[in-house]
Amino acid sequence: MNRDAEHSCQVVVTDEDIYQAMKEIPGYLDITVGDFREVYQVAFRNALERLREVIPVARVMTRDVVTVSVAAAAAEVAQRMAEQGVSGVPVLDAEGKVAGVISEKDFLVLMGAGRHRSFMEVVARCLGTRGCVAAPMKAKTAAELMSTPALTVDPETSTARVAELFHAHRINRAPVVDASGRLVGIVTRSDLLRAAGPSEVAP
Amino acid sequence: MTWVTKLRGAGKSPPRVGLKEIGWSWLGAFLGIAAVALIHFKLLAGTDLLLLIGSFGASAVLIYGAVKSPLAQPRNLLGGHVLSALIGVASYQLLHPWPWLACAVAVATAIACMHLTKTLHPPGGATALIAVIGGDQIHALGYLYALIPAASGALVMLIVALLVNNLAKTQRYPEFWW
């Protein structure tokens, strides 16, 4: 990680950039280009580490969440996910609390995906049988499809902690709920990548 | 990094400052040294006191010519001169039978103490040295040397720096006080 940060800032700021900046800033700067570069690199690395550690999930999450209710039919859930272009949705109970999460993987499992829960397993199965493999779930509701209980995080959780949870539980998204259990957003792997990416922190 | 590669250096020297800044540096240094020198030659002539010592020429480089430098800030200017003056006088009084040793101890200890107190100001080294080699008039002052000329001269130069350095649109002084 440190080496990446150093590498990326060497790309971002050259000695010539520093020299030009020193020329633009009026007055004598009591520092050499090399010293400035070193200060910059270490400061940049510190900033990266600080940001990685302490960005609360509330800053990177998606606030406009696509949700479904527990009573929604499988077809309705699928349609909603397709329309909104999302790969997972929180399922809300009658009180508006998060009861579970449905992701593409939950559909894949019902469609016969095996151990790896991969799309290719479904394709392989589909090509080996006749008829639509999605048919068996027609009668199911969101409550039956969802993974429950959902792993939720609160808005103050650090992105670093969320990344750990995603890795440990092999999940790609988590609903963000406030102290009263109300859904305030959703955090996905891509939100975390965006937060950690150099484009967000580079000047 | 080997000794030889270290000797070669790396990178190039920083850019030259603009002509405007050079003009302001000249003006600040002129007024700052003029103020100290006028007091020295007009007011203190005929007394045992003096205000102008060589190290103020070096201070002028910093506080009028490198305004942003940490070494040029009030804490460093005043702290560096006063502390080094005390150390210089002590070194002379304790070690004057061995002048070479008194000189070396004065400067080396002044640097160490300025570092310890975050008051590093290069002209302080000269102030400490002058306490040892400055002659009878300086030796006669004893520890008063820390107050006049060290503290007072530095204070006069500081006041001029506060006035002049902040006249330029592109300059501000100090970066920090303490």
A13: contact with B, CB 8 A cutoff: no
Q: In terms of CA atoms, which chain A residue is nearest residue B69?
A: A30
A99 with A183, same domain?
A: yes
Residues A126, A116: Cα–Cα separation, whole Å: 16
**Does A133 share its domain with A69?**
yes
The answer on A25 and A9 residing in a single domain is yes
Give the dihedral sign, CA B35/B138/B53/B85: negative
**Which tens digit of pLDDT belongs to each residue from B52-96?**
999 999 999 999 999 999 999 999 999 999 999 999 999 999 999
3-class DSSP state of B135: coil
Alpha-carbon span B18 to A136, nearest angstrom: 79
Instruction: Yes or no: say if B74 and B178 are a contact pair by the CB < 8 Å rule.
Output: yes
Number of other CB atoms surrounding residue A38 within 10 Å:
12
Q: How far is B38 from chain A (nearest CA, A)?
A: 28
Amino acid A133: pLDDT:
66
My answer on whether A20 and A84 are in the same domain is no
Q: In percent, how much of chain B has pLDDT > 90?
A: 81
What's the total number of domains in chain A? 2
- Considering the domain architecture, whether residues A70 and A162 belong to the same structural domain is answered as yes
Question: A67-98: per-residue pLDDT in tens?
Answer: 999 999 888 898 899 999 898 999 998 888 89
| Residue B107 Cα, gap to closest chain A Cα (Å) | 23
pLDDT surpasses 90 at A160:
no
Q: How far is CA A23 from the centre of its chain?
A: 42
Domain boundary among A29, A54, A79: A54
A21: left (phi over 0), alpha (psi -120 to 50) or beta: alpha
Count the Cβ atoms, other than its own, within 10 Å of residue A102.
28
Q: Which pLDDT does position A124 carry in this prediction?
A: 77
For A21, the closest chain B residue by CA position comes to B15
The alpha carbon of residue A2 is apart from the nearest alpha carbon of chain B, in Å, by 21
- Tokens coding A54: 């302490």
The verdict on A72 and A162 lying in the same domain is yes
What CATH number corresponds to the domain at position A110?
A: 3.10.580.10
Shared domain for A72 and A7, answered yes or no, is no
Residues A138, A187 share a domain: yes
Query: Is the per-residue pLDDT at A201 higher than 90?
Result: no
Task: State yes or no: pLDDT of B159 exceeds 50.
Answer: yes
Where is the domain boundary, A54, A79, A94?
Answer: A54
**Burial profile B42-77: b = 16 or more Cβ within 10 angstroms, e = fewer:** eebeeeebbbbbebbebbbbbbbbbbbbbbbbbbbb
Whether A15 sits inside 8 A of B11 (CB atoms) is yes
Say whether both A13 and A28 belong to one domain: yes
Closest CA to B85 of B126, B121, B136: B126
- Cross-chain residue pair A26–B11, CB shorter than 8 Å: no
The answer on A191 and A161 residing in a single domain is yes
A141 lies in the same domain as A195: yes
If residue B104 lies in a helix (H) or strand (E), which one and from where to where?
helix B99-116
Report yes or no: A89 and A102 within 8 Å, Cβ to Cβ. yes
Domain check: are A115 and A185 in the same one? yes
Helix locations, A85-132, DSSP H: 104-110, 119-128
Structural domain of A140: 60-200
For the full predicted model, state whether its pTM sits above 0.80. Answer: no
pLDDT, residue A10, reads 46
Q: What is the mean pLDDT of chain A?
A: 82
Residue-wise pLDDT for A103-159, tens only, equals 988 888 777 776 777 788 777 777 777 666 666 677 888 888 888 888 999 999 888
pLDDT at A197 over 80: no
